[in-house]
Structure 1
């Protein structure tokens, strides 16, 4: 209830949809009516027009003067102002209010000015003056009205004989006579009966104390606030009443008019039990029946929203009105017709109350007053009831779609915004961004909200569990607002859904003369994973570490020099050094989620140099299998010979063949000098690391003969090998300038068409290596080992024996091909492929095995020295370095006999 009369009205959008302001006037939304049964006049302001506006009420007297109604004036003069849950405003006035124009105590006119503004300071006010006339007759000798903010009693004004009052109870009247007899004539006064004394006040003094005192032609009225200083709380049959006992009198020359103006109204008596409101009202209210020797009921009635209910109405609404002789009880089921639920927020929690406006009228007759009408208006509101928010998970894993519903809420609660992940969005913004926020209306008037979010949304967290399982997690924080109070509260829903759809990142690596390469293809779980090499985060290329990082979003490639500090040396064998490039993928917590590596073997010739002047330069490297190894503590056989230079990864020795304990041996064709690089752990006599190095000197020639381990007690790590990166392309014509894309397979070809194929070694930057076709063949399925097979290239030579003749084509450097020796081209004449005695029609695939040869070494090799391969040395021995062999296959090629068949088969295979 608002008494400063500056009411800001908020309306439930969607409950009361406002019309266009320019098409309406306030007059269309101001309703006036009379409530004669309660001796009230009422003005109703529809919230549709007063949405989010400020309203002020003023009383207009008979001279046209305007008096703003504040809280004190409302109580003193008989006005009540309230706002319901939709924002509608109700103004009620007692028919005998201060500025009511009264004719014959039958007709009453109340004039009110209503000021409306869009600002709190009430600038640019629109004013509406409304006069409401109501009739009320006859009056009971005594009428008592208990409004929600004041108590009012009006009694019939008579001129009784003084002796009649002397015969009443002495406590009521005898002590009042001295005050009445001693005052001057023609002066109204009020004497308040207090427990220990009497307190007399002039009418002006009583009005200054907040009382309303008025007289009409036939009646005297006293109006008091519930908390008046002269009011006393009195327990009557278990119900607390606010009671003001007073006598009002008027003295003339020949008589004294003395009237009992006691008033009593209940301040409690309401209980909420088992979802029922129980209102108890005593039948006998002692302060109102002083001096009466008997009384009997004449009328008991109740009503809702100022409408009287018949016994049929009470039964239909499942109300109950009972009388046990002492107390009348009104029972109203919570939630039934006539009341309404309202949302509230208490300590951040959502809940509801139920409110209903009930009045109760009790009339009785006694031997003193004759008839008394006692009316009580009660706006009942149940205590706050917390409602736990129900979140329903209707997520559809098969569609990878979160579907979350929250509710239900009353119509006065609206969703303001959502925090999805870390992003705060209004409902409109969320829908525009691709989220689907829908409001659902239920038959009982309540509302719930559904939010749908796809799994691949950036605000959905994705976590890899184990294997192919990962969990999608959606976090939504809802912000709601309760109107018109504008209270807010939040609720959070966290929904998780595991799915077996994880694609782990994969890697492929290769090496050239100077660098090691790792290409990592991202999966769908490593969005936040960070690549590390040797605990160094790879972000931008580092000059100190010398690596290069290229990232296109779906994959990234790391290029590291083979002598970088980022690589590790796994083992030394007779003539080879194994170098490994490790790469770890770590999450935001620094936990390693995936590890990759590429290991390559390089000649030890790079680590030892035997100079013609007898100087030996040896570089000894730290092994990954011995993390405690300190290269600065390496020594030669003569332990006084220490490294010339040392880092954390390697040590360099420079010495002459006749120093540092070097041993000389003789062979038939050479002198051999041998020494050892040793590492001793502190306190140990036997070396943990022993690296033998030898230099052979022949006439006019120095060569490296041996460089490897002997009896190495340190642990060793097995190297890993990666496949060659190869591709086979199908060219559209003999120019080899235009190739078929992956989406164009299967490729249709007539049986007699030529087919142009190209095989390329990818990524390598080494101009000294060359790719050779070892064998090429065709199969009817994508499995290279399937049968039947048709030879295309046999032992590195064209197949010229069969009808499908093979022709090699030369390759030259151009803008696309940097190294022509990394590419081979051949043409196949697509004559009939026979299976048994039938010509093959349908899909065929081409496959090739390849070898890599080194053009710098012309020593004989059984693979690279064949007739059809120039006299060049393959890079390494095929028996030991299986990763220098490779296999590659083409996509499907569709053999057809004529164009009609071609169109039909292409359509069928592409549909499949």
Structure 2
């Protein structure tokens, strides 16, 4: 009962409205003659409000109210799901002109902005089927029975039956009616009293007609084979002189409201409401259209007989049914069916009885869940979510993504798309696409999966139309995308190596280091790199001979310089990958001061005239000769503590120095002074036998000099100190003769303060060793 009331309210709230009242166009108004009734259908969208009807005859106009309709043979249905109002009028209705044919006259009243408009509707119908001896109509709001008039001596009774005509005709005391029920026989009343109680009796040609609304005091409810039935049993009788005439009028209609089971609306009626010699014949359909049983079965309908009951099964999605969505703590749907059924039986006198049923069947509220399908293609880099099975009368109005709301349809200015597809099953779907790396998507690194977790919370707002009751459908979708550490694009230049990285949204997960030092703007500035870093990209230019290079295959024709950027996990500092670039460089002159105590130098002596150019070059120790000679260019590579090198200690630096000699005359020597200077703070081991350790490469200088007397290499015998070191270059020098590497004199170096007797102030205020150490 509660649902019926809710459904009625829903129907009233869902009526469509529109401007204008000129609705007489094709498809807006239909006037149709059916087997036993006349129908008017009006488009609600054209009327502005629910239209009203008046019946018209020679005596005037009569408003068809709810009570008057049930009494006089009219039924009005508001089919808001189809946007229609239907009026059905029985051929025996009160104001019908009943001649050879049946003529109907109505006024249709519409209202627009408080102004009523009247339209006259007229139609004459000829029943397509002959009348059976007894016919019963079970309408939605009344019962009507007509029987063939077989009264004897009709000519003598015609005046009496004429009083059964128009409602305002005076009744006669000759004719009375009595009602019966299983418990008692009620006292008779005359026809005028019966009319006052809502009963109608009429004589139409050769048929006696009786009509009553449902629920009259004189009708009764019973069950026949388990089906609720309403019955009214009226007996009309008259006695004139010695002649007694009695007519039995019985109307019995199934009051089954139907039930829903496994996708079918089931409705039943007793097979033998009236005496029958055999099984009744059944044909049925929807909306006034009858089908034979075989045709109905082909369309999915079910008809079966059980325990003397005829059961009709209507599939929930049957063509001709009406569907409506409903929001009530969820999304629901219900279906409405206008069942039309004809039941024919034959009694022992071989007289036909035909029952015509009109029944509005409504399913209970059925859950109507939406279907969400995650169609995300991680490789495509886009969330793709399909919201499906959306009923046709439900529309999407907005979408909320991680708390940010967007109206539908989407604006062209956003990066998301929403596509609607309509389907043949009266539903539609929406496909939402959002880029995985869009800022609105929550992104987190999942250590468990070693992948980037993308998360999107979606809240769809939908409404049932017509109406504005919202329904919210929420879903959370995630996508795991494997992430790889970044890789730089690298280019070799004449003066160094350039590294470029286009940032991805998750590159914040990694740290970039040069060795163990994190790459920062401060580190780059300190080491002489050029660094540009913003939200889009990282650019790093590493000049040749700056800290971090490794040099191999050094020769006069060039050398290989390798620079490495390590990619580490931010939290653990574990090395995940690296970008290593090796480039071929070719410079006329250069000097390299390695971290493991080697000096490698290439000098160009082209300033010396070719005819005077000596054939032999050497260092302070004349046994130390070039590794390679190419005309005016020579290559030396030797340990810092060999070949006659000297070392000078200052407050912050230590400098190793040697000289490259070549003769220009008998008394003059020209050459180049070569130096490697290391900061004391970076040194781990300063003097030991064949050992040297430094965190940083030294800074070298090549300085020309001229001496008038040849230098004689000094020889010293230093004390040997043994230490351990891991060499960092891959190639040892190859001299023309095996070099002699003498041990070094031990000198203790203090970094913090001067020790008396070991250091003295130099002319510039720097601490210096009292005398130079010479290596043979």
TM-score between the two structures when normalised by the length of structure 1: 0.50
Determine which of 200, 209, 212 is the counterpart of 1:224: 212
Aligned equivalent of 2:380: 399
**Residue 41 (1) aligns with residue 42 (2):** no
After superposition, residues 658-669 of structure 1 pair within 5 angstroms as: none
Instruction: Give 1:95 deviation, angstroms.
Output: 1.9
The answer (yes or no) to whether the contact 2:15–2:80 under 8 Å persists in 1 is: no
1: CA distance, partners of 2:272 / 2:122: 39
Aligned equivalent of 1:268: 256
Aligned equivalent of 2:83: 87
Aligned equivalent of 2:235: 247
Is there any run of 5+ residues in structure 1 with no aligned partner, and where? 12-17, 163-182, 505-520, 527-553, 555-592, 597-719, 732-740, 748-755, 761-776, 806-834, 839-857, 889-912
Instruction: Give 1:439 deviation, angstroms.
Output: 1.8
The answer (yes or no) to whether the contact 1:502–1:525 under 8 Å persists in 2 is: no
The answer (yes or no) to whether the contact 1:280–1:327 under 8 Å persists in 2 is: no
Aligned equivalent of 1:375: 356
The answer (yes or no) to whether the contact 1:140–1:373 under 8 Å persists in 2 is: yes
Instruction: Give 1:301 deviation, angstroms.
Output: 3.3
2: CA distance, partners of 1:67 / 1:458: 69
After superposition, residues 682-761 of structure 1 pair within 5 angstroms as: 723=523, 725-726=525-526
Instruction: Give 1:219 deviation, angstroms.
Output: 4.3
Aligned equivalent of 1:877: 681
Closer, same or farther in 2 for the Cα pair 1:789/1:743, shift >3 Å? same
**Residue 27 (1) aligns with residue 25 (2):** yes
The answer (yes or no) to whether the contact 1:141–1:371 under 8 Å persists in 2 is: yes
Aligned equivalent of 1:113: 108
1: CA distance, partners of 2:278 / 2:683: 123
After superposition, residues 619-630 of structure 1 pair within 5 angstroms as: none
1: CA distance, partners of 2:34 / 2:99: 16
Instruction: Give 1:476 deviation, angstroms.
Output: 1.3
Instruction: Give 1:246 deviation, angstroms.
Output: 2.6
The answer (yes or no) to whether the contact 1:59–1:66 under 8 Å persists in 2 is: yes
The answer (yes or no) to whether the contact 2:171–2:192 under 8 Å persists in 1 is: no
**Which segment is superposed worse, 492-501 or 424-433?**
424-433
Determine which of 450, 459, 467 is the counterpart of 1:477: 459
Root mean square deviation, CA, Å: 5.6
2: CA distance, partners of 1:729 / 1:152: 103
Aligned equivalent of 2:287: 305
The answer (yes or no) to whether the contact 1:151–1:225 under 8 Å persists in 2 is: yes
Determine which of 128, 139, 151 is the counterpart of 1:147: 139
1: CA distance, partners of 2:345 / 2:377: 69
Instruction: Give 1:36 deviation, angstroms.
Output: 3.7
Three-state SS of the structure 2 residue aligned to 1:132 is strand
Determine which of 34, 41, 49 is the counterpart of 1:54: 49
2: CA distance, partners of 1:786 / 1:296: 104
The answer (yes or no) to whether the contact 2:395–2:463 under 8 Å persists in 1 is: yes
Deviations 1:62-93 (A, max 9, x none): 25855443433332232231416433433222
Aligned equivalent of 2:323: 342
**Residue 123 (1) aligns with residue 114 (2):** yes
The answer (yes or no) to whether the contact 1:403–1:451 under 8 Å persists in 2 is: yes
Instruction: Give 1:354 deviation, angstroms.
Output: 5.0
Closer, same or farther in 2 for the Cα pair 1:190/1:421, shift >3 Å? farther
1: CA distance, partners of 2:287 / 2:481: 57
The answer (yes or no) to whether the contact 1:304–1:359 under 8 Å persists in 2 is: yes
2: CA distance, partners of 1:188 / 1:406: 69
Instruction: Give 1:241 deviation, angstroms.
Output: 0.4
Aligned length: 558
Deviations 1:643-675 (A, max 9, x none): xxxxxxxxxxxxxxxxxxxxxxxxxxxxxxxxx
Closer, same or farther in 2 for the Cα pair 1:730/1:355, shift >3 Å? closer
Closer, same or farther in 2 for the Cα pair 1:804/1:192, shift >3 Å? farther
The answer (yes or no) to whether the contact 1:5–1:55 under 8 Å persists in 2 is: no
Aligned equivalent of 1:72: 67
Instruction: Give 1:43 deviation, angstroms.
Output: 1.7
From the CA coordinates, give the structure whose radius of gyration is larger.
2
Closer, same or farther in 2 for the Cα pair 1:283/1:724, shift >3 Å? closer
1: CA distance, partners of 2:413 / 2:285: 50
Determine which of 596, 601, 604 is the counterpart of 1:802: 604
1: CA distance, partners of 2:503 / 2:186: 95
Closer, same or farther in 2 for the Cα pair 1:44/1:279, shift >3 Å? same
Instruction: Give 1:108 deviation, angstroms.
Output: 2.8
Closer, same or farther in 2 for the Cα pair 1:63/1:123, shift >3 Å? farther
Closer, same or farther in 2 for the Cα pair 1:801/1:886, shift >3 Å? closer
Instruction: Give 1:479 deviation, angstroms.
Output: 2.7
TM-score between the two structures when normalised by the length of structure 2: 0.58
**Residue 783 (1) aligns with residue 771 (2):** no
Instruction: Give 1:265 deviation, angstroms.
Output: 0.7
Aligned equivalent of 2:403: 422
The answer (yes or no) to whether the contact 1:10–1:483 under 8 Å persists in 2 is: no
Three-state SS of the structure 2 residue aligned to 1:262 is strand
2: CA distance, partners of 1:297 / 1:498: 67
Deviations 1:84-127 (A, max 9, x none): 64334332221222332x1326323142414154xxxx624554
2: CA distance, partners of 1:836 / 1:340: 102
The answer (yes or no) to whether the contact 2:400–2:460 under 8 Å persists in 1 is: yes
